[in-house]
Amino acid sequence: MLSDGTARDRTIARARLKFLESAELPAAVVPEGIRNSWQRSKYLGICTDEVVVPYQPDYDRESRLVRAATPVLDRLERTLAGSDACVIVTDRKGWVRDRRVGEKRLSAHLDRVHLAPGFNYAEQFVGTNGIGVALEERRPNVVLGTEHFNERLQDVSCAAAPIRNTVTGRVEGAMNLTCWSGPARTFMAALVQEAAADIERVMYEFSSSQQRALLEAFQQVTHYGDRPVLCLGQDLVLANSAASTRLTGDDHRLLHEAATELGHAPRTRKQVQLTGGETVLMRCRQVDSSAGAAGYLLELAFTEHRSDEARTRAGSRSRDEQDASRPWPLPGLAGTDPAWNTVSRTVSRCARERTPLLLHGETGTGKSALVHATHALTGAASAPVILDAVDPRTAAPTADLSATLRAAPAGPGHALVLRNVDAVPPEQGPDVARALDAAAAQGTWIVGTLHRAQGVPEPLRHCFVEAVAVPALRHRLADLPALVECLLRRVGAGVECAPEVLPLLRRHDWPGNIRQLHLALREAAAGRRTYRIELRDLPPSLHSAGSRSLSAWEASERDTLVQALLEVDGNKLLAAQRLGISRTTIYRKMRTYGITLPARG
């Protein structure tokens, strides 16, 4: 597909076709950067006639990169109005975060090739293109028409330049200019580098504001004592001597990940195991600035050097409870992962002491199961009352949420769980808070659950004294054998898994967590052909490791492909013959959907 009929384009196109048909290096007329990218693309097996890219519709539209790029893109959008040009910003991994197009015809073409927000244009997915090469080689570049590896992209030319953090030098993303094939190389390169520099300046201003906020928070806390304190921002780490002498860069990363999960819930605390095996109790507070969230302020307590006051406060707890490395079994639940042990101990203590608790974590991680198990350990005769802020009518069709809470059984021995706390409407927040406070005053154990701790409405924050994060299944895969055994006991007596099943289960991300694992095992057990669950009995989705959500049609295609491969023991040629497609298409579809099966032929 030639874009403008020039001799150069025809020469490039011939060199590309010859390169695809043989192992011969491209002709010298092809720019060196394009030749290198073609070789990488061919090695990766990138499609030449179809654009197949990952898609993630959910992303942070308020990230620092997006906010810094917005005023620059707004200006360029006004300048390019009506022209055959488009400006695009991606993050450092190639995910498109914003796009502004001058004309409708170009916009429609870019939609057809998925060069739109939410899609990934890294070289590893699309092959040679401006964005992918700029991020791969970390320098500005131009890709003109027939220089694209994929034929679907050869109607356009593009220039791209990395966007760098001027403080750290790290690449934060890429600025891209795309036009119909034909514009001069120098014009495109100059414009895109100028735009990238403008975004870098705005990001620097944001950094300065956020760094000032972190420094002020750090100084306020360290002024009054010598306990270990750590401030973590995107480009800044502040630590006093009590913290810096005991923490490494890897420890900073672990603590930052834990802080991101906790957010700024009131009195948020979490135990974190450091890289050297040492455990630290972390109290976290989010630091905000005029440019948005700046980072986190962490106050640390190393467990083996606790003060006399701390030992006094913990005197009522057993020594086993304070040793997070030892298992803490709960009825009906399984797992010995340190993070799970810490959560189990904390929830058990809160149940025993009737401490109002906020449980946060992804859907299906077992938050409700934790409450049921720990409440039962207190000797309570009644099960917890569970209400959902999303649909309070599940308990009382005619009452609002606050009235339903007030009508729930209260007093010692009772537990009241409010699910989806973040869904409480703002106008109902004060009434709901008063209802929870009244129940707690009567001795009821109050528990709130939600996905992320920072989603708690302001009127309800004081209702929960402690907060704890329930780990996702992908973060406690060491517990997978015990969890599988426990869940299979619920499915039926005598059901077990073949040895090769567990390795496949470990490779899965489990976005639905334990609930998804339970459903998968139940489906596999119901359809098994022998006394145990074999690989072929597992749902087709478990044979796929794709990172994006699939449409109903795509899921059906993936399941059909997996089933055909399983029926022929992974033989790609036989599967292709059964489906009436080529073996090349089989390999391409397997790569698209992340399908991994044992190869038998």
Fold adopted by 7-204? Beta-Lactamase (3.30.450)
Q: Residues 400-456: pLDDT tens digits?
A: 888 889 888 888 889 999 999 988 888 888 999 999 999 998 989 999 999 877 778
Q: What's the pLDDT score for residue 396?
A: 41
557, burial (CB in 10 Å: exposed 0-12, middle 13-18, buried 19+): middle
Strand runs (DSSP E) across 137-203, as ranges?
141-143, 156-164, 171-180
Q: Closest Cα partner for 129 from 110, 105, 104, 108? A: 110
Phi, psi (deg, nearest 5) at residue 66:
-65, -45
DSSP structure class, residue 3? S
Q: Name residue 374's amino acid.
A: T
Task: Give the class (CATH, top level) of 225-317.
Answer: alpha beta
DSSP structure class, residue 323? -
- 27 C-beta neighbours (distance < 10 Å), count: 14
Give the span between the Cα atoms of 12 and 8, in whole angstroms.
6
The position carrying tokens 């010598």 is 226
Give the span between the Cα atoms of 125 and 83, in whole angstroms.
28
| Beta strand pairing call for 385-388 and 415-419 | parallel
- Lowest mean pLDDT across 89-98, 122-131, 135-144, 334-343: 334-343
Q: Closest Cα partner for 15 from 29, 1, 32, 36? A: 29
| Banded model confidence at residue 89, pLDDT cuts 50, 70, 90 | very high
Q: Closest Cα partner for 297 from 218, 206, 212? A: 218
Between 552 and 442, the higher pLDDT residue: 442
- Lowest mean pLDDT across 132-141, 521-530, 565-574: 565-574
β-sheet bridge partners, residue 448: 358, 418
Q: Closest Cα partner for 137 from 116, 154, 122? A: 122
Give the span between the Cα atoms of 457 and 322, in whole angstroms.
32
For the chain, give the mean pLDDT.
82
Q: Residues 149-180: pLDDT tens digits?
A: 999 999 999 999 999 987 667 899 999 999 99
Contact 115, 121 (CB under 8 A): yes
- 30 C-beta neighbours (distance < 10 Å), count: 20
Q: Residues 381-405: pLDDT tens digits?
A: 788 999 988 875 444 444 588 888 9
Give the span between the Cα atoms of 142 and 160, in whole angstroms.
6
Q: Residues 223-234: pLDDT tens digits?
A: 656 788 888 887
DSSP structure class, residue 139? S
Q: Are the folds of 7-204 and 225-317 the same?
A: yes
**Alpha helical stretches, state H, 122-238:** 123-126, 130-137, 185-222
Sign of CA dihedral 132, 133, 138, 141: negative
- What per-residue string of b and e applies to 168-178 under the rule 16 or more CB within 10 Å gives b? eeebbbbbbbb
Sign of CA dihedral 166, 168, 169, 170: negative
Contact 470, 360 (CB under 8 A): yes
Q: Residues 18-31: pLDDT tens digits?
A: 888 886 777 778 88
Contact 244, 442 (CB under 8 A): no
Q: Does residue 124 surpass a pLDDT of 80?
A: yes
Give the span between the Cα atoms of 413 and 433, in whole angstroms.
21
Q: Name residue 376's amino acid.
A: A
Q: Does residue 468 surpass a pLDDT of 60?
A: yes
Q: Residues 60-85: pLDDT tens digits?
A: 787 889 989 999 999 999 888 888 89
Between 599 and 368, the higher pLDDT residue: 368
Give the span between the Cα atoms of 366 and 333, in whole angstroms.
9
Q: How many residues in total does the chain contain?
A: 601
Rounded to an integer, the average pLDDT of 129-142 is 93
Architecture of the structural domain at 329-471: 3-Layer(aba) Sandwich (3.40)
* Residues sharing a CB contact under 8 Å with residue 488, sequence separation 6 or more, in sequence order: 495, 496, 497, 521, 525
Domain boundary assignment for the chain: 7-204, 225-317, 329-471, 479-593
